A and B are shown apart, each in its own frame.
Chain A
Amino acid sequence: MTISLDVNGERHTVTASPDTPLLYVLRDDLQLNAAKYGCGLGQCGACTVHVDGNAVFSCLTPVAATVGRRVTTLEGLGTAEKPGILQQAFIDEQAAQCGYCIAGMIMRAQSLLSYNPSPSDEEIRQHMQPNLCRCGTHYRIIRAIKRASAVLANHQNKGDAT
């Protein structure tokens, strides 16, 4: 059937069975390849994207469930030329090793910063708990999130000053 989706602020129309995982539609129909297939069971977080601003496992979200809701993928946060604040922080901290989990990590972290711009270490660990990294880059990931948080605070202060 024909399904209309709002992804990264753009409207897309795809032909898919309503039970198709959102992940497959993003990757196969819309060529948005940041989100990765990891386990397909909601256990690893490599497929994390946002629906209405909240981090979800796109492998377990049927595409029909996202009709009328806002989907955001890593591509929606910035571009290679102009990365978003959190993306730049991950680059600055060189937080990826193989990189397979990183798109999901960034999307998970982004949802945290959107409602809590200056999280504690404990809050970061708790929030990032659903996402796994088998290379073990967790310390760098936490540093990147804290770096982005500091940049956000800096922007906030500058905004207040002007």
Chain B
Amino acid sequence: MIVVKSKRQIWLSALGIAGLVGMVTAAIIVYEPAIPPVARPSPSSFEVAEVKRGAELASIGDCVVCHSTDGGRPFAGSKALPTPFGTLYSDNITPDETTGIGNWSFAAFQRAMTRGVARDGSHLYPALPYEHFTHVDDADLQAIYAFLMTREPVKEVQPPNDLLPGLGFRPLLAGWKFLFLRKTAFVQDKTQNNEWNRGKYLVEGLGHCGGCHTPRNLLGAEEHGSDLAGGVAEGWIAPALDASNPSASRWDQASLFDYLKNGIAGAHSAAGGPMGPVAEGLSEVDDADVRAISTYIASRMKPAATPSAKTNANPAKAEGTTASKAATRTPASDAAKLFAGACGGCHMSGAPMETAGRPPLSVVSDLKMDDPRNAIKVVLGGITPAAGHGPYMPGFADALTDQQIADLLAYARSRFTDAPTWPDLAAKVSVIRKEDAK
């Protein structure tokens, strides 16, 4: 009896000690000191060349895309960022001393970028991709700091975040970072040339390509075993940037460069959805850096030594399913007429767009993907050029019904690709139409 009791006591005290250790550890993980505010550095205290370099780096990082609303002041924040955990509103990163980062020292900026902690010691949500920025070297962070600190200060307070219950409690983010944030300096691969290494540095660091192109786990962290294996962004599929990429012809350094620099590659695709602003940002960036990014991505997209069996398997399957599905849809001849009337003006052979270097439908990736999501989103909403010029397509959400769009896409898929029929298209159009209306 006594033995039993004392055993229980030992267990209880052991649990108590473990709990205490856990709490102390948690407190150590959570606690970040405030970094004292500084007077806003004078814009003239920064070298012009450094500011210019910072501007290019900020374009590679796409800071302005998330940190401005449509039509709002650049870098003033307040853009709504929908996530599976609720809506976040981006911070004001202009050098305003009260509502922006005007009183942040470089040390505070550096900590925010690489460890996701604000100047006052509060934890930042990983919508700021510090998972990536942690790889950026200090000289580059200095240049970006110089660039941001020389912008026009804007007084603007972002709306409060609208998150799932409990997630507004920021100390939780410390736990998230403990699990997922790995601070590692960028390591050069000596077997590759400088351009490739520069590309890798930009892709993994500032460019944060994996933010969209890498799948995420249930807690919203990137799955590091599946780097660039394809993810989602704002309701769009961000295709895999590896050998499984669905494009008709292999991307190479030259076509990736065209796409990233000009928003369009003739034999591939036009940048649509969230990729539009990315290409717009890169159009401002030095050719050498865009070429480096292209070189690195192209090397990742090279197929393994044996060609994938997947592409060979599709045609036979496609014919079988197309034939069996055809009866339940608009007759193919009617879908062809719809296509001719709605799409043919631009997408028939010999149409103006086809002769203007725009990608023909037989090569665009959206029609070849296993999931019709991007194709549906493009037909519903069109392509709006990020900067008011560049590839354009009108949306058909109001002109065509869900069933008509489904029929058109089924027709285009069978006409322009060898891939199997997409199932339940009309229902998917309906779902995505509702998402887009929000």
Q: Which of B71, B341, B352, B394 contacts A65 (CB 8 A)?
A: B341
Which chain B positions have C-beta within 8 A of A54? 398
Q: Mark A1-40, 1 if CB is under 8 A from B, else 0.
A: 0000000000000000111110000000000000000001
In the assembled complex, B86 has its CB within 8 A of some CB on chain A: no
Which chain A positions have C-beta within 8 A of B344? 19
Within 8 A of A (CB), among B308-352: 334, 337-342, 344-346, 352
Query: CA A21 – CA B345 in complex, angstroms?
Result: 10
Q: Do B345 and A62 have beta carbons less than 8 Å apart?
A: no
Query: CA A67 – CA B346 in complex, angstroms?
Result: 23
Q: Which of A43, A64, A122, A130 contacts B338 (CB 8 A)?
A: A64
With a 10 A CB-CB cut-off, give which of A43, A56, A59, A65 has the most chain B CB atoms: A65
In the assembled complex, A60 has its CB within 8 A of some CB on chain B: yes
With a 10 A CB-CB cut-off, give which of A17, A18, A40, A42 has the most chain B CB atoms: A42
Q: Do A65 and B345 have beta carbons less than 8 Å apart?
A: no
In the assembled complex, A51 has its CB within 8 A of some CB on chain B: yes
Within 8 A of A (CB), among B384-409: 392-394, 396, 398-401, 404
Q: Do B398 and A51 have beta carbons less than 8 Å apart?
A: yes
Q: Do A65 and B392 have beta carbons less than 8 Å apart?
A: no
Q: Do A57 and B399 have beta carbons less than 8 Å apart?
A: yes
In the assembled complex, A161 has its CB within 8 A of some CB on chain B: no
Which chain B positions have C-beta within 8 A of A62? 337-338, 340-342
Q: Do A18 and B394 have beta carbons less than 8 Å apart?
A: no
Within 8 A of B (CB), among A93-148: 122, 130
* CB-based nearest A residue for B384: A129
Q: Do B337 and A64 have beta carbons less than 8 Å apart?
A: yes
Q: Do B398 and A55 have beta carbons less than 8 Å apart?
A: yes
Which chain A positions have C-beta within 8 A of B339? 19
Q: Which of A17, A43, A61, A69 contacts B392 (CB 8 A)?
A: A43
With a 10 A CB-CB cut-off, give which of B345, B346, B399 has the most chain A CB atoms: B399
Q: Which of A19, A57, A65, A122 contacts B404 (CB 8 A)?
A: A65
Which chain B positions have C-beta within 8 A of A60? 341-342, 345, 394, 396, 399
Query: CA A56 – CA B397 in complex, angstroms?
Result: 9
B interface majority secondary structure:
helix
Which chain B positions have C-beta within 8 A of A69? 401
- Min CB gap B412→A, angstroms: 14
Q: Do B341 and A61 have beta carbons less than 8 Å apart?
A: yes
Query: CA A42 – CA B393 in complex, angstroms?
Result: 8
In the assembled complex, A63 has its CB within 8 A of some CB on chain B: yes
In the assembled complex, A41 has its CB within 8 A of some CB on chain B: yes
* CB-based nearest A residue for B330: A64
Given contacts A42-B394, A60-B345, contact A65 B400 (CB under 8 A): yes
Q: Do B394 and A51 have beta carbons less than 8 Å apart?
A: no
Within 8 A of B (CB), among A53-92: 54-57, 59-65, 69
* CB-based nearest B residue for A111: B398
Which chain A positions have C-beta within 8 A of B340? 19, 62
Given contacts A51-B399, A130-B394, contact A122 B71 (CB under 8 A): yes
Which chain B positions have C-beta within 8 A of A21? 341
Q: Do A18 and B341 have beta carbons less than 8 Å apart?
A: yes
Q: Do A57 and B394 have beta carbons less than 8 Å apart?
A: yes
Which chain A positions have C-beta within 8 A of B352? 41
Q: Do A56 and B399 have beta carbons less than 8 Å apart?
A: yes
- Min CB gap B96→A, angstroms: 23
Which chain A positions have C-beta within 8 A of B394? 41-43, 57, 60, 130
Which chain B positions have C-beta within 8 A of A56? 398-399
* CB-based nearest B residue for A52: B398
Query: CA A130 – CA B382 in complex, angstroms?
Result: 11
Q: Do B399 and A19 have beta carbons less than 8 Å apart?
A: no
Given contacts A59-B345, A61-B342, contact A19 B398 (CB under 8 A): no
Which chain A positions have C-beta within 8 A of B338? 18-19, 62, 64-65
Q: Which of B71, B337, B346, B399 contacts A61 (CB 8 A)?
A: B399
- Min CB gap A85→B, angstroms: 22
Which chain A positions have C-beta within 8 A of B334? 18, 64
* CB-based nearest A residue for B333: A18
Query: CA A47 – CA B173 in complex, angstroms?
Result: 53
With a 10 A CB-CB cut-off, give which of A57, A59, A60 has the most chain B CB atoms: A60
Q: Do B342 and A18 have beta carbons less than 8 Å apart?
A: no
Query: CA A52 – CA B346 in complex, angstroms?
Result: 25
Q: Which residues on A are within 8 Å of B, measured CB to CB? A: 17-21, 40-43, 51-52, 54-57, 59-65, 69, 122, 130
A-B contact pairs, 6 of them (CB 8 A): A40-B345, A54-B398, A59-B345, A60-B399, A62-B342, A65-B404
Q: Which residues on B are within 8 Å of A, measured CB to CB? A: 71, 334, 337-342, 344-346, 352-353, 392-394, 396, 398-401, 404
Q: Which 4 A-B pairs have the closest CB atoms?
A: A62-B341, A42-B394, A54-B398, A19-B341
Starting from the known contacts A40-B345, A51-B399, 9 additional A-B residue pairs (CB-CB under 8 Å) come to A51-B398, A55-B398, A57-B399, A60-B399, A61-B342, A65-B338, A65-B342, A65-B399, A65-B401
